[in-house]
A = this chain, B = another copy of it.
C-alpha cells in the first residue's frame, strides 16, 4: 500500500481499521461478533412492552456470555479489566441503544456503585446476583427536582440507633426518584442516594442498598412508584419513579467505603472534607460519561457509513451531461455536509481511545493520584458533551442527506437519533459539564499565575505533544509567538502546518480563559450574590471556552494518531482529514481570530477556500474512510447502505441505454423557436 501509481496515495483500510479500533481492538472485534447476532438486534416498531421484554431477555444473554463482567473482581468471575469493559460495552450501541443503556444501568451504574462505594461484605453479598442478572437493579440517584445538582437531593436516610436502622424517606413530591432505568418494572433492588443524617447532622449524599420489590414484583411496604411511560427513544428501558415513606433498612446497607455510621450513630470517614468526599464518591461513576463518549462516536461513524455509502450510489440531476445523472456525493454541498463531520468523528475516535486509556489507568490503580482523577473528570466533562452533540448533529445531517429514505425506520438513522437524543443530558447535562470544565480551566489559570510558568492549564495537551512550540514556556512566551504570528506564517500554506494549527487552537482557549479570569477577578471581593451575578454574566463565554478546550483535545489526539500511522498513503490522507478538522475549527471561530488579530482578513478568507480544496481532495477516499470503521451489514442493517441503491441505479441506466440503442425511445418535445 502507500502511494499508488503516479503518486496518488492509497489508504490501507485494514490497517486503518485496526488503528481506529484502538487499544482494546481485540475486545471490540469480539464484541462485534456478538453484536452481529440477530437475537441482540432491535426490532423496529415493537410496542414499548414488547421492546422492554426483548431487551430484558437480551440482558440475560449478555450476562450468560460474560460480556458485561470484565470490570468485576477476578475472584467473583470478572477480570478486573476496566478499559476493556467499557470498550465492549460501547459496541452494544450498534445492536440497540436500549440494550446498551439498560446494560449500563445494571452493570455500569447499579453494579459499579456496589463495587466502588461498597465494601467486601457488599461485594460478596450483592455482586454475584447483579452479575448474573438474578438481581436486576436500579441506580436511584436523580430526583424529579434535582438532576444536575445531586448534592441537593431531598431524599433522607436518618439513622435510628435504637433499632440500628436507617429510615429512608421522601419528604415531598420533587424528591421522588425519577427517570431511573429498571425502576418501572424490572428492578428488585436499588442503590439509593440520600442525605445521610445521624446525631442531628447531615453528612451529605451517601448510597444505600435497598430492596424494592418482592418475588411477585410488588413494591415492599412503604415503597411506591410510577412508570415514566413512553420516551423520545430508548423505549426498551423501563424508566420510572420511586418514593419512600419511612422505609427502614439495616445499618449495614450503607455502602460504606467512603463513610460509615457506627452502631451508636457516630459518623466516620477517611475523607475529612465533606465536599471532597462527595466528589470522590461521584467520581467513581465517571465511566458512564466515558462510555457515552465512545458510544456516541460509534453512532456517528455508523451514520456516516450509511450516508456516504448511499451518497456514492444515489444519482440525482444531470450536471452538464444529457444522459448521466450525478452521484450526489459529487455535489460540493453534499461533500460539505458529510466530510467535515467525518473528520470530527475521526478526531473523536482517537480522542476517545486516549480518554479510555486514562480511565483504565485510574481505575486499575496504575495511575490514580488525586490529580489523575481530576484530569479524568475534566476530560470526561469536556469530551462527552462534544461527542454526544456531534452524534445528534451527524445523525440528523445523514438522515437529511438520504432524503425520504433516511426517514424510514428500515434505514436506521431516525431510530438511532431518537435513542441518542438523551445522551446529551444524561450522565451530566452537556452545558453543566462544560461549565465544570471552564471552572477547572479558571482554577488552573489562577494556579499558573501563583506558580508562574508551569503550564498547568494545558496539562493534557502538553503531556501529549512534546514537540509543541511553546512547551513549558508559559503563557507570556506564547503571547509573544502569537504577536509575531502575522509575519512568520504569512502564506496560505502555513495553515496546513501542524504547529500553526496547534497555536491557533491553543491560543484561543488560553486567551479566552485569561480574559474571563481577568473580568471575574473582582468577584473575590464581592458579596456572594453579586459575585454570582458577575459569574453568570460570563457563563456563556465560559462554556464556549470549555468547548474550545475539548476541541483542542480532540485535535491533539488526531494529530498524535496521524504521527503514529505507519502506512505512508494512509498517513497522507489522514493528514488531510486532520487538516479538515483543524481548519474547520478555525473557520467556525473565524470571527474570534479576526477580532483578536490572530488572522488577517486575507488569510481568514483563505481558510474557507483551502477547506474547499481539502474536501475535493478527500472525496475519492470517502468510502475507504468509512469502510475503515469496520461495520458489516449485520451492524448497519440499513437497506440503503446495502447496495440496493446501486442495483436500482444500474437497472435504470441499463433500461435507458437499451431504449436509446433500440431506436424506439420517444423523442423529447422540441422547444418552440424563439421569436
Which residues of A approach B to under 8 Å, CB–CB? 44-45, 47-48, 142, 144-149, 152, 154, 171-175, 178-179, 195, 197, 200-204, 228-233, 267, 272-275, 316-317, 319-321, 325, 330-333, 336-337, 392, 396, 399-400, 403-410, 413-415, 417-418, 421-422, 424-426, 429-431, 435, 527-533, 535-540, 543, 590-591, 594-597, 601, 604-605, 612, 647-649, 651-652, 655, 666-669, 671-672
Q: Give 17 CB contacts A-B under 8 Å.
A: A44-B230, A174-B649, A201-B666, A204-B669, A230-B409, A231-B408, A267-B669, A319-B532, A320-B529, A330-B536, A331-B536, A332-B536, A332-B538, A332-B539, A333-B431, A392-B396, A537-B612
User: How far is the CB of A309 from the nearest CB of chain B, in Å?
Assistant: 17
The chain B residue sitting closest to A601, CB to CB, is: B595
The chain B residue sitting closest to A431, CB to CB, is: B333
Is B316 in contact with A146, judged by CB distance below 8 angstroms?
yes
Q: Tell me which residues across on chain B come within 8 A of A337, comparing CB atoms.
A: 431
Known A320-B527, A320-B528, A528-B321: A145·B408 in contact at CB below 8 Å: no
Is B332 in contact with A273, judged by CB distance below 8 angstroms?
no
Q: Tell me which residues across on chain B come within 8 A of A431, comparing CB atoms.
A: 333, 337, 400
User: How far is the CB of A178 from the nearest CB of chain B, in Å?
Assistant: 7
User: How far is the CB of A317 from the nearest CB of chain B, in Å?
Assistant: 5
Known A232-B399, A333-B431: A172·B655 in contact at CB below 8 Å: yes
Q: Tell me which residues across on chain B come within 8 A of A409, comparing CB atoms.
A: 229-232
User: How far is the CB of A102 from the nearest CB of chain B, in Å?
Assistant: 16
Q: Tell me which residues across on chain B come within 8 A of A668, comparing CB atoms.
A: 201-202, 274
**B179, B229, B406, B667: which contacts A404 (Cβ < 8 A)?**
B179
Is A595 in contact with B595, judged by CB distance below 8 angstroms?
no
Known A45-B48, A149-B316, A333-B539: A669·B203 in contact at CB below 8 Å: yes
Is B171 in contact with A655, judged by CB distance below 8 angstroms?
yes
Q: A372 to B550: give the CA distance in the assembly, Å.
A: 50
Is A543 in contact with B396, judged by CB distance below 8 angstroms?
no
This chain's copy number in the assembly: 2
Q: A147 to B484: give the CA distance in the assembly, Å.
A: 53
The 10 closest A-B pairs by CB, nearest first: A232-B414, A320-B532, A590-B591, A320-B529, A319-B532, A230-B409, A320-B528, A202-B666, A272-B672, A332-B539
Is B529 in contact with A178, judged by CB distance below 8 angstroms?
no
Q: Tell me which residues across on chain B come within 8 A of A671, comparing CB atoms.
A: 273-275
**B171, B539, B604: which contacts A594 (Cβ < 8 A)?**
B604
Is B407 in contact with A421, judged by CB distance below 8 angstroms?
yes
Is A604 in contact with B595, judged by CB distance below 8 angstroms?
yes
The chain B residue sitting closest to A232, CB to CB, is: B414
Known A45-B230, A202-B668, A594-B595: A418·B408 in contact at CB below 8 Å: no
Is B404 in contact with A652, judged by CB distance below 8 angstroms?
no
Q: Tell me which residues across on chain B come within 8 A of A229, comparing CB atoms.
A: 44-45, 408-410
- Among A148, A228, A231, A668, the one with the most B-chain Cβ atoms within 10 Å of its Cβ is A231
**B275, B316, B536, B601: which contacts A147 (Cβ < 8 A)?**
B316
Is A400 in contact with B148, judged by CB distance below 8 angstroms?
no
The chain B residue sitting closest to A319, CB to CB, is: B532
User: How far is the CB of A500 from the nearest CB of chain B, in Å?
Assistant: 18
Known: A44-B229, A332-B538, A337-B431. 10 other contacts (CB 8 A): A47-B47, A149-B317, A149-B325, A172-B651, A174-B651, A202-B667, A232-B407, A232-B408, A274-B671, A399-B421
Q: Tell me which residues across on chain B come within 8 A of A195, comparing CB atoms.
A: 666
Q: A612 to B544: give the CA distance in the assembly, Å.
A: 14
Is A540 in contact with B612, judged by CB distance below 8 angstroms?
yes
Known A147-B404, A429-B403: A174·B652 in contact at CB below 8 Å: yes
Is A201 in contact with B669, judged by CB distance below 8 angstroms?
yes
User: How far is the CB of A622 from the nearest CB of chain B, in Å?
Assistant: 16
